[in-house]
């Protein structure tokens, strides 16, 4: 792999650097570096170790050099909503507090005293998650107003890593929309909303779309790493990049399955109707100014926590196998209850809700895992029904992308439940979407249509249909 581009995809549970290059109309990947990403406790808050994550990015770049790779470009994506603030000397004013931190408890309700839920949705089209950036900033305004007054730059996490790489500061569009502070129609920061909230609007930077080129690495980094490359904005919201890699979006509902399950469709315009508000769907910005009409479902975070509660005795495949063996266990819970956002102990929280709803309480790892997967299936079905009700149409296919598409039990459960064709893959959808955004920006691919054709030729998907054996498809 001579000429290549480098995708840095940092999820809420793990990160990876994947090199990609176009060879005879196929996208070839080479995994360079993989690392865990965990919340750390700093003072009273759960935070991300941004210094540690940036060191992992530099480690990955060094590994490229060791392998004789000289990436022409690099693009970074992460999970949404979280940010840092810089002062006039570009010094960090805040830790990278994590969205699962309790600092936003009650903030959404306080914001509704200033602007109605309906108006906020009509203007931004963004779902009501208690951890959205708008509520994080409102919390900061209550607890440390002096920090907001001193702030000169608001940078979401990929923006911050891009700043560390290049010295350039900008806000990328797809991730900016997840803040619930961008107007869905102007695609700009909603300055009237910021004034209403009393949040310093001058710290927000110019919003640039995926495909924008920021420049090359700072000279200090070139000297340190012995490589230089263009820094390009992919859809820096990881789900935005994941959706880019859905090979066939027409007539397809995607499930970006990782820490969260993001279930939705691609749309050319925001759908901010009352029913979408009532069902809490979001209209996050996508590549080429498409919209990601989707809903957050609690996702495999739950099984990540179950795994941790059992002291990592079981791998993910082993938990799936144990769940398969617990076939008689039938209790199901509402996975989207806020109690599962950051419980002390996920297993005990699941057991408590089964008890409170007079259901059999899971006692073995297999029963707990089966309860999680079955309950996710219920939530997926409900979201699919809501999407089809809003669109007044039946979608024929479901495409599960991301690490969670390796959970064959869940894939089959979705096919059996929905009676739809379920396609699983690509696993590294986010990194692939990140890479093709760079290749389009560099002119190596014409547009997202061609990119999706190349993706469908490059990666094998697995098809699941109701009560039938899985099969591989090209």
Ligand X SMILES: C[C@H](O)[C@H](O)[C@@H](O)C(=O)CO
- Least Cβ distance, residue 19 to Mg ion (angstroms): 17
What's the rounded Cα separation, in Å, for the pair 360 and 416? 23
Does position 299 interact with Mg ion (CB under 5 A)? The reply is no
Strands 73-78 and 5-10 come out as: parallel
Q: Is 12 in the site for ligand ATP (CB under 6 A)?
A: yes
How far apart are the C-alpha atoms of 161 and 157, rounded to whole Å?
A: 6
Query: Which among 75-83, 180-188, 271-279, 319-327 is the span making contact with ligand X, rule CB under 6 A?
Result: 75-83
The structure tokens 């994947």 sit at: 18
Does position 35 interact with ligand ATP (CB under 6 A)? The reply is: no
Separation of alpha carbons 286 and 246, rounded Å: 12
Place of tokens 């419980």: 343
By rule CB under 5 A, what string of x and - marks binding of each residue 418-447 to Mg ion? ------------x-----------------
Q: Is 250 a catalytic residue?
A: no
- Please, which residues have CB within 8 angstroms of residue 423's CB and are 6 or more apart in sequence? 397, 398, 399, 400, 461, 462, 463, 464, 473
Using CA atoms, how far residue 233 sits from 179, 187, 426, in Å, is 18, 17, 21
Whether residue 330 is annotated as binding a ligand: the answer is no
- Three-state DSSP at 415 gives helix
Cβ nearer to ligand X, comparing 264 with 365: 264
User: Read out DSSP for 129-198?
Assistant: -TTSHHHHHHHHHHH-HHHHHH--EEEEHHHHHHHHHHS---EEHHHHHTTT-B-TTT-SB-HHHHHHHT
CB of 121 to ligand X, least distance (A): 16
Burial class of residue 419, CB neighbours in 10 A (0-12, 13-18, 19+): exposed
Q: Which of 73, 136, 179, 296 binds ligand X (CB under 6 A)?
A: 296
Residues in 68-107 at the binding interface with ligand ATP, rule: CB under 6 A: 79
Stretch that binds ligand X, among 207-215, 233-241, 369-377, 380-388 (CB under 6 A): 233-241
- The answer to whether 237 is a known ligand-binding residue is yes
Instruction: Give me the phi and psi of 161, to 5 degrees please.
Output: -65, -35
Which of the listed partners (ligand ATP, Mg ion, ligand X, none) does 245 bind, with a CB threshold of 5 to 8 Å by partner kind?
Answer: none
Instruction: Name which of Mg ion, ligand X, ligand ATP, none residue 244 binds, using a CB cut-off of 5 to 8 Å depending on partner kind.
Output: none
Closest CB to ligand X among residues 81, 346 = 81
Q: Of residues 4, 8, 11, 441, which one binds Mg ion by CB under 5 A?
A: 11
Query: For residue 255, what are the β-bridge partners?
Result: 263, 400
Active site residues per annotation? 238
Residue set of the binding site for ATP:
12-16, 259, 304, 403
Residues of this chain that bind ligand X (CB under 6 A): 11, 79-81, 99, 129, 178, 237-239, 258-260, 262, 296
Residues of this chain that bind Mg ion (CB under 5 A): 11, 238, 258, 430
Residues of this chain that bind ligand ATP (CB under 6 A): 11-14, 79, 238, 258-260, 300, 303-304, 316-317, 320, 402-404, 406-407
């Amino acid at each position: 792999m001579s000429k290549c581009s480098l995708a840095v995809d940092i999820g809420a549970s793990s990160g990876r650097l994947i090199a990609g290059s176009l060879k005879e109309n196929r996208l070839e990947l080479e995994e360079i570096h993989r690392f865990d990403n965990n919340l750390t406790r700093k003072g009273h808050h759960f935070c991300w170790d941004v210094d540690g994550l940036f060191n992992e990015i530099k480690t990955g770049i060094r590994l490229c050099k060791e392998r004789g790779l000289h990436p022409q470009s690099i693009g970074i994506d992460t999970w949404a909503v979280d940010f840092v603030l810089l002062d006039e000397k570009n010094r960090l004013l805040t830790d990278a507090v994590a969205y699962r931190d309790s600092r936003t408890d009650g903030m959404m309700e306080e914001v509704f005293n200033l602007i109605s839920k309906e108006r906020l949705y009509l203007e931004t089209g963004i779902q009501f998650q208690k951890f959205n950036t708008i509520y994080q900033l409102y919390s900061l305004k209550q607890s440390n107003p002096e920090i907001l007054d001193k702030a000169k730059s608001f940078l979401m996490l990929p923006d911050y890593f891009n700043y560390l790489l290049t010295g350039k500061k900008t806000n990328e569009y797809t991730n900016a929309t997840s803040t619930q502070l961008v107007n869905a129609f102007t695609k700009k920061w909603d300055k009237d909303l910021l004034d209403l909230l009393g949040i310093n609007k001058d710290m927000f930077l110019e919003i640039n779309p995926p495909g924008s080129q920021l420049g090359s690495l700072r000279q200090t980094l070139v000297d340190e790493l012995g490589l230089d490359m263009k820094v390009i904005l992919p859809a820096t919201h990881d789900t935005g990049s994941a959706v880019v890699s859905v090979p066939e979006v027409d007539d397809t509902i995607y499930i970006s399955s990782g820490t969260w399950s993001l279930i939705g469709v691609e749309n050319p315009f925001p759908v901010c109707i009352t029913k979408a508000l009532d069902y809490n769907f979001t209209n996050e910005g996508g590549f080429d100014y498409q919209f990601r009409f989707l809903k957050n479902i609690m996702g495999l975070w739950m099984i990540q926590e179950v795994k941790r509660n059992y002291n990592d005795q079981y791998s993910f495949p082993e938990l799936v196998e144990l769940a398969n063996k617990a076939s008689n266990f039938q209790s199901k819970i509402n996975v989207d209850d806020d109690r599962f956002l950051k419980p002390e102990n996920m297993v005990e929280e699941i057991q408590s809700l089964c008890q409170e709803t007079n259901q059999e309480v899971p006692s073995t790892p297999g029963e707990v895992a089966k309860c999680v997967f079955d309950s996710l299936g219920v939530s997926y079905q409900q979201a699919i029904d809501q999407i089809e009700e809003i669109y007044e149409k039946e979608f024929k296919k479901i495409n599960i992308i991301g690490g969670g598409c390796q959970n064959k039990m869940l894939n089959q459960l979705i096919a059996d439940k929905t009676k739809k064709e379920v396609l699983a893959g690509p696993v590294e959808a986010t990194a692939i979407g990140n890479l093709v955004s760079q290749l389009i920006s560099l002119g190596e691919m014409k547009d997202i249509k061609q990119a999706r054709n190349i993706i469908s030729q490059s990666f094998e998907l697995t098809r699941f249909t109701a009560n039938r054996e899985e099969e591989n498809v090209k």
